[in-house]
Structure formats: structure tokens, C-alpha cells
């Protein structure tokens, strides 16, 4: 491990005997502490050492900026002089699909094994629990809190600033909207969405334009209902003939759904929930919020490139701090493979069990390994001891390499992490 310290030129994270964070030290000091057995390696990425002897615990004010988002989260921790931590995390986006698959399996099982039961709306969870949020939203809020917690475990953070954003989705659709028009949506005067979609399309099939002569019209979802919803921009009018032909795979639709507002809706729901939960968890720290237009103005004024890490750096507020030449790129993965989410049913109605053991030859899924002179992650495994090793960007290092050629670097974690060079493009201010 000592031979690898020269590969990183930024400071190393430092924690005391009790596991509390200290200010980072230089690579040279880290080498000395490890060589003299006064510290031990706690984590490889980011490189973290834990002291084995008591020492002084002088600290500085460390500000953490959080660029919250639907898909990407930027984090930057800095003092007045230097940036200490920079990362960009990519969150999972498969929660809705997994929950929908589970719902379909449970519904099918109940239909097979129980009598018909009429739906009751008095026992729904959102009617019982005030402040209930959808599981997909809760997962992303929990992911944001976890990322902030990971930084607070490494550095003595004193201030946290979160960028909260509000989106006017009506204005996004119609920039000229004003006044009472906000209360008069596009579906005003129509009984339901179906009636509006039929009227919008002129009661005509949007594929054959009435050439089939079929008088029966259907409202078709361009994107799956479980992910696209029943928004009018996800619906289109098709005649019965074209509708059946599409689902039979005989025709292809050239129609595309309109802009999805999923990310904007999520940010509108989660922004204040995340902020207030953060204040409750970190009551000993100063937690503040800022807005996107302020971040944009700061970034443009100081000529900083556009990225999630750069936005977090601006949010932290220490604009005179020297930025790190590298940042941590993190990707959130699903480590578990629940059988209930598998839709393939074998003979006799029995789902096939997972054949590959949880651990093969000492290696597990998403373990960080070294293959030759390159580092990668295990994305697939066979019980025979051969593994699919890839980089975090998906590039394959080997589709089937023996465990004998692999060297374990890190056990798997929820966030797979690599160190990447920062984009150093200087953006000139407009004035």
C-alpha cells in the first residue's frame, strides 16, 4: 500500500482513534505515519488513514456544498484556502421498474390464490401516514442523505449548504402563461384525459390517418404506463387495427412522447423534505439553502466550467479556495438480486433459483479488483471461478477471466468509486 501513495497528489483523509474526522494531511506525512505504525489504512478510495495514537485535534471551518439532483449529485467540501473533497454521484433509476414488477407478481399471485376483493381506499398508506412519499422519491432522498453522511464521516464539516430548486412546469410548457391561465390547464372543459387526447388528435388515428377505416379508437401509451404515467404528452390516438398490430409487433410507431417532467416533479417534491431532514440529522451544524440562479451567477462570474462538482464548489461559498485536480466519480448500484423481481417462470410455475453462489473463490459482485495493470469491477460471475470485469464506464477488461489472475483491492460497496481528472476548461465571464 505504501508504494501506491505516490499515485495521488492531494491530501489524505485523516480520522482519530475514536473514528472522528480530522483535517486531511499531506501524502508525505501519511507515508511517515504508516511507516512508523502510528496509523493504519482505513479506506482505499478516498484514501483514508486512522491514527493509532492520541494526537492534537485542531480543526478549521469546513463548508460542504451539495448540488442536489434527480440523477446526479455533486458534492464539494472546502476551507477558505483549499478544496478538500469533490465528488459526483450517479444515482439509481430502476426503483420504479422493480416496484412495478413486484406489484405485478403480487397481484397475479393474489388473483390465483384468493377470491376477488374490491379495492378499498381507506386503508392506503398515504391516507394513514402524514407526509408519506412514494418509495422512489424516498430512495433518492435517502441516497442524498447517505452521500452527505459519507462526507461528514471523513471531514469535520461545520457548514452545509444545499441548492434547492423549484420548477414552474406550467411555464416550461407555455412560457407566455400568466395570471388566471395557471388555473386553466390544457384539459379544461374535458371530462377526462381520454376525451382530451381524442379531441387533440382530431378523433383520428395518428399512425394510418384513418386509412384503415376502423371506427374504433383507442388511447395508447407511448411509454409504459408504470414509468410514463397518464400525462397527455404520453398518450396518442390509435385505431383498433393499428393498436393490435403494434402490440403484435407488425408495425412500428414513429411517434415520440413529449418532454417528461419526471425530474422536475421529483425536485419539487424532495427539495424541502431533504433540507429539513438534513437539518434534523445534523443539528450540530449550520445547514442553509441556496438557489440555482445564484449558483449559476457565481459560476459564470468566476469563469468556472459547468459540472456538478463545479456547482457544488460554488455552493460551498469558498471561491478563493484552490480546487482539487481530481474528483471522485461514484455510481450507485443494486447489490441484491431478489427473486421476486424475476418474471421468468419455469415449468410447473416455479421460478429458477440463482445458480451462482453469493461468493465465488473469495470474490463477490462489484468487488474492485486489479487485472494485470488495470483496475476494474466484477459485473458478472460464474460458479466455475470466471468473472466479467469492467471499468465503471462499462468498458470490458475481460468477459471471462480466471480468479487466479485477479487481485482484490476493495470489497464491494453501494457506491463504486474511481478517481478522475477534473475538467480544467476556463470559461470567460460575459462581462
Tens-place pLDDT, residues 381-400: 888 899 999 998 888 999 89
Range with the lowest mean pLDDT among 125-129, 388-392, 418-422? Answer: 125-129
DSSP structure class, residue 363? B
DSSP structure class, residue 343? -
Is residue 351 within 8 Å of residue 342, measured between CB atoms? yes
Identify the residue with better confidence: 180 or 383: 383
Radius of gyration of the chain, Cα coordinates, nearest whole angstrom: 27
Q: Per the structure block, which three cell numbers stand in for 138? A: 424516498
Q: Per the structure block, which three cell numbers stand in for 303? A: 469563469
Is residue 165 within 8 Å of residue 274, measured between CB atoms? no
- pTM here is 0.83
pLDDT of 377 over the 90 cut: yes
Burial 266-280 (b: 16+ CB within 10 A, else e): bbbebbeebbebbbe
Range with the lowest mean pLDDT among 79-88, 165-174, 302-311? Answer: 165-174
Is residue 270 within 8 Å of residue 143, measured between CB atoms? no
Range with the lowest mean pLDDT among 209-223, 337-351, 407-421? Answer: 337-351
Rounded CA separation 194/215 (Å): 16
Rounded CA separation 354/260 (Å): 36
pLDDT of 105 over the 90 cut: no
Identify which of 154, 190, 185 has the alpha carbon closest to the alpha carbon of residue 171: 185
Q: What is the dihedral of CA 410, 322, 78, 417, to 10 degrees?
A: -20
Predicted local confidence at residue 2, as pLDDT? 40
Instruction: Provide the angle, in degrees to the nearest 10, between the axes of the packed helices 262-281 and 135-154.
Output: 50
CA distances from 208 to 11, 216, 287 (A): 64, 13, 57
Classify the C-alpha dihedral 100-104-109-111 as positive or negative.
Answer: positive
Q: ∠ CA 79-81-87 to the nearest 5 degrees?
A: 55
Range with the lowest mean pLDDT among 2-16, 87-101, 107-121, 268-282? Answer: 2-16
DSSP 381-401: E-TTSEEEEE-TTS-EEEEEE
Burial, 63: exposed, middle or buried (Cβ in 10 Å; 0-12, 13-18, 19+)?
A: buried
Binned at pLDDT 50, 70 and 90, residue 343 comes out as: low
pLDDT digits (tens, 9 = 90+) for 28-58: 888 888 888 888 888 888 888 888 888 777 7
Mean pLDDT of 402-410: 92
pLDDT of 186 over the 90 cut: no
The verdict on whether omega for the bond into residue 46 sits within 30 degrees of 0, i.e. cis, is: yes
Rounded CA separation 213/139 (Å): 48
Amino acid at each position: 500500500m505504501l508504494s501506491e501513495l505516490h499515485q495521488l497528489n492531494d491530501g489524505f483523509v485523516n480520522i482519530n482513534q475514536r473514528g472522528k474526522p480530522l483535517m486531511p494531511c499531506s501524502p508525505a506525512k501519511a507515508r511517515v505515519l504508516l511507516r512508523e505504525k502510528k496509523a493504519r489504512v482505513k479506506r482505499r478510495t478516498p484514501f483514508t488513514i486512522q491514527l493509532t495514537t492520541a494526537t492534537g485535534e485542531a480543526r478549521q471551518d469546513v463548508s460542504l456544498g451539495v448540488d442536489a439532483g434527480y440523477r446526479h449529485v455533486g458534492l464539494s467540501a472546502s476551507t477558505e484556502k483549499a478544496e478538500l473533497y469533490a465528488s459526483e454521484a450517479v444515482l439509481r433509476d430502476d426503483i420504479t421498474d422493480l416496484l412495478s414488477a413486484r406489484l405485478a407478481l403480487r397481484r397475479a399471485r393474489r388473483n390465483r390464490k384468493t377470491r376477488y376483493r374490491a379495492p378499498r381506499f381507506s386503508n392506503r398508506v398515504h391516507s394513514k401516514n402524514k407526509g408519506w412519499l412514494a418509495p422512489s422519491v424516498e430512495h433518492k432522498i435517502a441516497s442524498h442523505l447517505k452521500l452527505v453522511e459519507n462526507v461528514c464521516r471523513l471531514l469535520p464539516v461545520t457548514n452545509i449548504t444545499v441548492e434547492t430548486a423549484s420548477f414552474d412546469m406550467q411555464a416550461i410548457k407555455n412560457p407566455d402563461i400568466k395570471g388566471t391561465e395557471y388555473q386553466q390547464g390544457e384539459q379544461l372543459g374535458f371530462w377526462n384525459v381520454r376525451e382530451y387526447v381524442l379531441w387533440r388528435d382530431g378523433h383520428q388515428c395518428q399512425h394510418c390517418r384513418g386509412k384503415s377505416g376502423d371506427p374504433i379508437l383507442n388511447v395508447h401509451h407511448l411509454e409504459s404506463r408504470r414509468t410514463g404515467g397518464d400525462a397527455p404528452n404520453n398518450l396518442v390516438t390509435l385505431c383498433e387495427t393499428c393498436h393490435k398490430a403494434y402490440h403484435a409487433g407488425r408495425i412500428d410507431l414513429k411517434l415520440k412522447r413529449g418532454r417528461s417532467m419526471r425530474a422536475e416533479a421529483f425536485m419539487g417534491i424532495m427539495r424541502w423534505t431533504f433540507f429539513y431532514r438534513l437539518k434534523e440529522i445534523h443539528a450540530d451544524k449550520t445547514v442553509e439553502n441556496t438557489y440555482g440562479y445564484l449558483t449559476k451567477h457565481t459560476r459564470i462570474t468566476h469563469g468556472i466550467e459547468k459540472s456538478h462538482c463545479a456547482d457544488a464548489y460554488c455552493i460551498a461559498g469558498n471561491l478563493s479556495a484552490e480546487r482539487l485536480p481530481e474528483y471522485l466519480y461514484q455510481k450507485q448500484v443494486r447489490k441484491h438480486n431478489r427473486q421476486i423481481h424475476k418474471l421468468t417462470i419455469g415449468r410447473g410455475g416455479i421460478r429458477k433459483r440463482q445458480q451462482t453462489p453469493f461468493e465465488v473463490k473469495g470474490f463477490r459482485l462489484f468487488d474492485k479488483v486489479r487485472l494485470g495493470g488495470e483496475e476494474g469491477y466484477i459485473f458478472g460471475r460464474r460458479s466455475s471461478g470466471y468473472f466479467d470485469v469492467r471499468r465503471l464506464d462499462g468498458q470490458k477488461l475481460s468477459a471471462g477471466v480466471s480468479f487466479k489472475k485477479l487481485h482484490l483491492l476493495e470489497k464491494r460497496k453501494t457506491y463504486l468509486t474511481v478517481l478522475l481528472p477534473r475538467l480544467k476548461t476556463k470559461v470567460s465571464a460575459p462581462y
